[in-house]
Structure 1
Amino acid sequence: MSRSEKAIFTNMCMIYDDNGRVLVQDRVNSNWPGVTFPGGHVEKGEPFSHSVIREVYEETGLTIKSPVLCGVKQFQTKDDERYVVLFYKTNQFGGELKPSKEGNVFWIQRDELCHYKLANDFDEMVKVFELENLSEFYYHKEGGHWHVNLF
């Protein structure tokens, strides 16, 4: 029995400042619309940390530095691929904020996040970004329904 499996790697980054704000993206993607943090796919052979720096720049115009890996989201796709989202966070950034084809980007106070239409289960994902005792967001299917587990 093989111990390998097909996988898709992506990333997401919580960018925050000293004034209690976080950078969010209002995604226009019909597969997962709503407010979330910016991020995207890891290219074949690309280091994970480079991918998050590249994706944040492409989607926001900001250049981030020293992204810290703070958690993981994972689930199996309908094609039985493991879909992995690497969660990063940083408060080191520069550049001029600009929207992309992925959606508009803007700063909000962190405590106002709940007042926006969030992408599905994003409120649970934020816990992994922020709580030291959590490192994983995991979907599993049971009885034909998807369930969220936080570890």
Structure 2
Amino acid sequence: MREQGARLSWQLVEVTGPSMAPTLLNGDWLLIQKISSGAEQVREGDVVVLRHPLQQDLLIVKRAVERREGGWWVMGDNAFVENDSREFGTVPDDMVLARARARFRPPREVQRSVAGAGSWAAWAASCVRPLRADRSFSKRLRAR
């Protein structure tokens, strides 16, 4: 994940890697809101940005599945990638840094002709989506 902008409470970050597919794809952008305390502002099902517990210089995106003793159990949406709590256990509250609020999906190979107008309309209708626990396509989420 790549950060853009200064250290503000709201930021744009780019998703890299396949672990959050199909909810988030490589190259998608997230609007995230930094949080002061992981326990008080995160709800089950939220998409969160956190420090990887085993490689703390790496920021990752996962879905907060449930509160457990010691922190959050987080998982990715892609069942074939296991770089989540199944590998590293619960994540302490102080390692949960932000909640994802919206996803922006850049156009992917949209035709630039009159015939491609339908493709542009479809992209425009689906490119920005709020990321709320009750509106996501999947109960599991993560990206690296």
Larger RCO, structure (CA 8 Å, separation 6 or more): 2
TM-score, normalised to structure 1, is 0.24
